[in-house]
Amino acid sequence: MDKNKVTMDEVVNVAKRRAFIYPGSEIYGGLANAWDYGPYGVLLKKNVKKIWWEDMVMKRPDIIGLDSAILMNPKVWEASGHLKEFTDPLVDCKKCKQRFKADDIKDKVCPECGGELTEARRFNLMFKTHAGPVDDESSLVYLRPETAQGIFVDFKNILDTTRVKLPFGVAQIGKSFRNEITPGNFIFRTREFEQFEIEYFVKSALEAKKAFDEWVKVRLEWYKSLGIHSENLRLREHTKDELAHYAIAATDIEYNFPFGFLELEGIANRGDYDLKQHEKFSGQDLKYFDEETKTQILPFVVEPSGGVDRTVLAILIDAYDKDRVEGEERTVLRFHPRIAPIKAAVFPLVKKEPLIMRAKEIYHQLKEKYFVEYDESGTIGRRYRRQDEIGTPYCITVDFDSLEDGAVTVRDRDTMKQDRVPLVAVQEWLEQRIK
Ligand SMILES: [Zn+2]
């Protein structure tokens, strides 16, 4: 399907209707830009994170995992530069009191009411809260705006307690928070979001350059491996003036969203900025002892940092399709089987014994290993449509022939081809296709 024809309305609609994504706090009128993952959404999101963890951590000998705390000593953010640099210039309207990003203002007047605007002031994007019962400056803490700093702060512990040798990476998946002034586009930009990040440490600036190019390739291929069409992915190098305060070079992997090509993941060469800053602010030695050269090295770092929610959105949009089946329009989510929330659905052809009993047996057997569904209500056509809309790749039907030949019909979501598979081989048949 031509991606230009998929609208956000269609995606938001199917996401709500089919239990992928709900508006947050909806019965209370919602909360601006907060979203909840429904029963299928959570499976889709978990699959994204599981595959990332398997591909980037489990299968790689040079990467280890970490899960650091969201609340950190406020000095971390002083050292990282976030307290000073992580800001947006804002202007206020003197008349209607609304606040805007200075960069979005074109005519030097309020875009809402035409009123006069204040001078731009810097607004820090970190959420503040207080830890403990005292509500003053001494208890001030921040919700982390990125997971990366947890990795740098634990760098010394990792060196001291594991046997890592440069080059190596530390990977983390977790929630981050940014008080964005203009969030939007569904789950594309939200104030609470989940990241998957790797900090990949190398010995020198030259090696960092090489690792940077390598990571851009590895990460682009990873998105393709999720089934995202390659024509909807592209790379975009940052210009010097858009680089973050810590970065030497950065390239974004962008997806062709209905609202334009925008960032899914950023790969940044952070140099030795972060470890240097944390050495300075913590007073601790964060150097790595290189056995080969018998020297102390402060490593350089390359960071592939992706958005879990953005990846889920790109997958939903990319999988969204419509076609005609038996004269009826069908909405189908063509998820890669590895990503699909539900791997298979099991039906009795009609709601009658002993078909029900046989179908339930298969369902319970498969459910030990996979997320599968059982459905006996409505016509078989209706049941197919329901599974098509949640992207289930295979539907398994027990019919009257099954009682004679001990086989079932397996129907493919995309080709709609039907295969006859022996009952005893169903699990293996499925396993081969959803790897
Ligand atoms: Zn105004």
Contact 229, 318 (CB under 8 A): yes
State the distance from the centre of ligand 1 to the C-alpha of 111, rounded, in angstroms: 7
pLDDT score at 237: 95
**CA-CA-CA-CA dihedral for 78, 83, 86, 91, to nearest 10:** -170
Distance CA 347, CA 399 (A): 9
Chain segment 258-267, per-residue pLDDT in tens: 999 999 999 9
State the distance from the centre of ligand 1 to the C-alpha of 79, rounded, in angstroms: 37
Main-chain phi, psi angles of 67, to 5 degrees? -140, 90
pLDDT score at 99: 85
DSSP code of residue 245: T
Strand 192-202 vs strand 288-290: parallel, antiparallel, or unpaired? unpaired
The CATH number of 342-433, from 1.10.1380.10, 3.40.250.10, 3.40.50.800, 3.30.70.260, is 3.40.50.800
Query: C-alpha distances in angstroms, 342 versus 219, 330, 391?
Result: 26, 18, 7
pLDDT score at 104: 81
State the distance from the centre of ligand 1 to the C-alpha of 204, rounded, in angstroms: 52
Distance CA 339, CA 225 (A): 10
For residue 408, with 0-12 CB atoms within 10 Å meaning exposed, 13-18 middle and 19 or more buried, which class applies?
buried
- State the chain's mean pLDDT as an integer: 94
Distance CA 114, CA 110 (A): 4
Distance CA 409, CA 127 (A): 54
Residue percentage of the chain with pLDDT more than 70: 99
pLDDT score at 86: 83
Distance CA 299, CA 285 (A): 12
Residues, CB within 5 angstroms of ligand 1 (ion): 93, 95-96, 110, 112-113, 115
Q: Which two tokens stand for residue 67?
A: 């899960």
Chain segment 7-51, per-residue pLDDT in tens: 999 999 999 999 999 999 999 999 988 999 999 999 999 999 999
Comparing 207 with 4, which gets the higher pLDDT?
207
State the distance from the centre of ligand 1 to the C-alpha of 89, rounded, in angstroms: 17
Average pLDDT rounded to a whole number, residues 42-62: 98
State the distance from the centre of ligand 1 to the C-alpha of 121, rounded, in angstroms: 17
Q: Which two tokens stand for residue 109?
A: 């007047």
Average pLDDT rounded to a whole number, residues 374-387: 95
Position of tokens 């390239």? 251
**The whole model's pTM is what?**
0.93
Decide if pLDDT at 320 tops 80. Answer: yes
pLDDT band for position 2 (cuts 50, 70, 90)? low
* In the chain, domain spans: 3-68+147-316, 342-433
Decide if pLDDT at 3 tops 70. Answer: no
Q: Which positions ≥6 away from 336 have C-beta within 8 Å?
A: 226, 227
State the distance from the centre of ligand 1 to the C-alpha of 179, rounded, in angstroms: 21
Chain segment 81-92, per-residue pLDDT in tens: 999 888 888 888
State the distance from the centre of ligand 1 to the C-alpha of 101, rounded, in angstroms: 13
Q: Which positions ≥6 away from 59 have C-beta within 8 Å?
A: none
State the distance from the centre of ligand 1 to the C-alpha of 119, rounded, in angstroms: 14
State the distance from the centre of ligand 1 to the C-alpha of 109, rounded, in angstroms: 8
The dihedral built from the CA positions of residue 105, 107, 111 and 113, taken in this order, carries a sign that is positive
The CATH number of 3-68+147-316, from 3.30.360.10, 3.40.50.300, 2.40.50.140, 3.30.930.10, is 3.30.930.10
Angle at 60 between CA 48 and CA 177, to 5 degrees: 45
- Type of residue found at 303: E
Average pLDDT rounded to a whole number, residues 362-391: 96
Average pLDDT rounded to a whole number, residues 115-134: 89
